Structure 1
Amino acid sequence: MRHGTDAQIMAEVNERALIRKIAWRTLPLILLSFFVALVDRANISFAAATMNADLGFSETVYGIGASVFFLGYALLEVPSNLLLAKFGARVWLARIMLTWGVISILTAFVHMPWHFYAMRFALGVAEAGFYPGVILYLSSWFPGEHRAWAISRFYVALPLSYVVMGSIAAPLLAMHGWLGLHGWQWLLIVEGLPSVLLALVLIAALPDRPETAPWLDKRERGWLADVLAREAAAAGPPSHSVLHALTNRFVLMLGCANALNYIAINAVVFSAPKLLAQGTGLDVAGVGRVVSAGGVAIALGVLVVSMLAGRTTARTLVTYAGLMGLAAAGLALLWLGGTGASTIAGYVLYIAAAQTAGMLPLAVVSRLIPAGDRPAGLAMANTISQGGGFLGPITWGVLADATGSYQLGVALLIPVSLTAAAVALAVRARSLRAG
């Protein structure tokens, strides 16, 4: 039992110092884990530069393989998040990392299209629940007004993954012939190993919840519990129904907004090395530098947006809509360009705006639904988002095979991004009416 009034507890606790303490104890491991997940998910885009030729894969085959990751991911998203709520973040996130690391390594040994499809689907199943699970985990540590800031600090792993992949892809591909393996095989093996090792670190070092953290004193635990309880009360009583949480209007609308965003993101990301090579004439190392530059641009975008958005849901949603408008402008520049400079500028603008926007919808969902509905609600919003991830690469691959270029695909993604902006503004209007 705590002693003293809520006002006394608030006066005794330095809020900023407490948030910094929590951030240093939780976010570095989460950031590193997310970074490894992103590398293992997207390293296939660099491997494809030589893998497709070695194995005789067409753009359609590769697009299907890139897409089925998101099918496996989406199907297991909600069950995985419910299990995380049951077993705790430390154990469940470590389990996720261990399995996806092993599967990522095994992908290096595929020989036929169905092997490729099976491993990508299995990788999605293994990683299911990681991102919404992290948002759920952070929701138990950071009050709502600090949550977007906290998410932005671990989301920096996304641009870091671009920088690292762009820097090390060429040296790893150059290992072609070592021990009888292709360069793309070495790329998948070397980049898969860290997640296996990190799973062991995570289970030993990640704190589960504030109530059991020895580095928080009673006053700090009390303050945090009071703030989170007030936020939970303001969001309304939990439905105590998984179905109700899954069909919450804000869950569905924000999930759809981000699904539209991910249709475009995953189409571009999984073909970025080839798209940039065609548009600029650069070799693998040169393309890697452009991808790294995109990562730096995302990092800047994340830092700027974390200062502009987060205090209120209305501001966050307006920021999301603005970013999607910038993403559409980047796609238009890619489509209308025709020079190496315009291709690079369009890609960097698009990837910075779209990927930065991707961190915001689940942060908003976590504030608009009751705490008891978050495990299912956050997972459902991300499941819908990953549906877009499934549709994007496969459609993109079919269009590329049919037309011989990526131009038509880029053009079709412009209205998709603008529609995502419109949905976010509709959510803003409904949230303001709901009070």
Structure 2
Amino acid sequence: MDDARVLAQVMRKMMLRILPFIMLGYVIAYVDRVNISFAAIQMNVDLGFSATVYGLGAGLFFLSYGLFEVPSSMLMERVGPKRWLVRIMLTWGAIATAMMFVETPIQFYVMRFLLGVAEAGFFPTIMFYLSGWFPAAYRGRAISWIYIAPPVASIVMGAISGWLLELDGLGNLHGWQWLFLVQGMPGVILALVIWRFLPETPTEVDWLSATEKEQLGVALSRDAALVVEHARHDLLGALTNPVVLLLGFIGLFGNLSVVGLILSAPAILTDAAAMDTISIGYLVSGSGILGTVLILAAGWNSDRHGDRLRDAIILALACIAGLLALAWAPSPWLAIGGYLLLAVCTFPVGLLCVSSAPDLLSVRQLAVGIAAINTFWQLGSFASPYLTGIARDATGGYSAGLYAAALAASCQVALMVYLRHRVRIARAAHSLVLAGREFKGGTTPA
């Protein structure tokens, strides 16, 4: 069997044995960070929370997530990605469940902040872990399977959240308390499963032969040699790396444009389309199904042609169109169409940007670099729901916030265009340098 076939066989094995654990963990993580969008329908009324109080509490998760992202990732490098992943899941599952005991705005703020602290480092840990298993030619497809977690979570959350809210009064609990209880505990359970069954590195598994392990190592080493190195590999080095900064601000503007909508989607759709809770749940589930298909297609296509940022730009423009349609919304159908366009396209944009990071950063930069990038992203996530809530209380509607979100998304597109231009120039120059070295060594440049 030739090398390409061996490597393809290795990838199939890893897709089946590695990715399901990671994907399920990300599904649960996403549910636990955004299920307040459904809980708020009852919780805000029961506890007397204004849109501003809710928006601040919703956003505080992302603030603490961002602040503790780099420290968490640095600890992960010391203890190993598998152990750190289990620690993260145990603590966030317990805190997500304890959200059911919130009674005051201060308690709401504290619990959301602690949830972010607990989950900080989760995504960089996943990315670091996968970079040790999947070469660049397969990484887009691997990450796309991880990135379908948010739309899959939307399917699950939309399908069951409305029904959980209908349990209001059962066992002397409010419906929103049942929602936090049922959707929080799976994080703790899955942490124990991952501790038992997820392998740490390819070298320790018995389901890869010696030949397969060797071929995988060759592919990963070949990818590492193609990365344009940056002088420093610590936090300061990451923060002075233009690629890290550009990807960071791309995510900041992207999350600024969509997170407020995601966390207020049921309320926005209630206003714009006069939908009830169950119908909104089905719409959210439907958008999750369509988003899943598009994410897998985007990951496969970006691996095929290698230009991930080009596809991200196209999909981000579609997101802008969705935001404008939802903001204008002269009819319920246009509001629904705008929401679907945005909900379906926004996660593939994130996938393609995140998939670019391992292609552009060295292994030594990867953990801290992705953590630094994600910190920028979470700052946008923190500001988005808070500003959405302020705009809602100030204007009595969501249109002003949605128009502002479209402006933020336009900034994201401009930065992606610039980064794509920089990357193309840098890679061309790096290829010339490598060709010159090979020529001086006595061989003909490829």
TM-score by length of 1: 0.95
Identity %: 39
Q: How many residues align?
A: 426
Q: How far apart, CA to CA, are the structure 1 residues paired with 2:87 and 2:239?
A: 25
1:114 matched to 2:95? The reply is: no
1:215 maps to a residue whose letter is W
Give the 5 Å matches for 1:263-412.
Answer: 263-311=256-304, 313=306, 315-412=307-404
* Aligned counterpart, 1:246: 239
Which string of whole-angstrom CA distances, capped at 9 and with x for unpartnered residues, describes residues 207-235 of structure 1? 11112222222211111111211221221
Q: How far apart, CA to CA, are the structure 2 residues paired with 1:224 and 1:196?
A: 32
Deviation of 1:174 after TM superposition, in Å, equals 1.0
1:234 matched to 2:226? The reply is: yes
1:53 matched to 2:42? The reply is: no
Q: 1:165 to 1:217 in 2, by over 3 A?
A: same
Query: Is 1:10–1:223's contact at 8 Å kept on the other side of the alignment?
Result: no
Deviation of 1:311 after TM superposition, in Å, equals 4.2
Please point out which of 59, 73, 81 is paired with 1:81: 73
1:158 matched to 2:150? The reply is: yes
Query: Is 2:234–2:368's contact at 8 Å kept on the other side of the alignment?
Result: no
Deviation of 1:155 after TM superposition, in Å, equals 1.5
User: Which is further off, 239-248 or 257-266?
Assistant: 239-248
2:167 partner SS: coil
User: Which is further off, 297-306 or 166-175?
Assistant: 297-306
Q: 1:77 to 1:184 in 2, by over 3 A?
A: same
Q: 1:365 to 1:12 in 2, by over 3 A?
A: closer
Deviation of 1:159 after TM superposition, in Å, equals 1.0
* Aligned counterpart, 2:420: 428
Which string of whole-angstrom CA distances, capped at 9 and with x for unpartnered residues, describes residues 327-373 of structure 1? 00011111222211111100000111112211122211111111111
Deviation of 1:237 after TM superposition, in Å, equals 4.6
Q: How far apart, CA to CA, are the structure 2 residues paired with 1:347 and 1:51?
A: 24
Query: Is 2:391–2:400's contact at 8 Å kept on the other side of the alignment?
Result: yes
1:321 partner SS: helix
1:39 matched to 2:64? The reply is: no
Deviation of 1:240 after TM superposition, in Å, equals 3.9
1:218 maps to a residue whose letter is A
Q: How far apart, CA to CA, are the structure 1 residues paired with 2:350 and 2:422?
A: 21
Q: Which runs of 5+ in 2 are unaligned?
A: 428-446
1:305 maps to a residue whose letter is A
Query: Is 2:252–2:377's contact at 8 Å kept on the other side of the alignment?
Result: yes
1:359 partner SS: helix
Give the 5 Å matches for 1:185-196.
Answer: 185-196=177-188
Deviation of 1:236 after TM superposition, in Å, equals 4.1
Give the 5 Å matches for 1:2-81.
Answer: 11=3, 14-81=6-73
User: Which is further off, 326-335 or 213-222?
Assistant: 213-222
Deviation of 1:312 after TM superposition, in Å, equals 5.3
**How well do the aligned residues superpose, as a CA RMSD in angstroms?**
1.4
TM-score by length of 2: 0.93
* Aligned counterpart, 1:5: none
* Aligned counterpart, 2:439: none
* Aligned counterpart, 1:199: 191
Q: How far apart, CA to CA, are the structure 1 residues paired with 2:210 and 2:305?
A: 29
Give the 5 Å matches for 1:88-107.
Answer: 88-107=80-99
Deviation of 1:160 after TM superposition, in Å, equals 1.0
* Aligned counterpart, 2:216: 224
2:348 maps to a residue whose letter is T
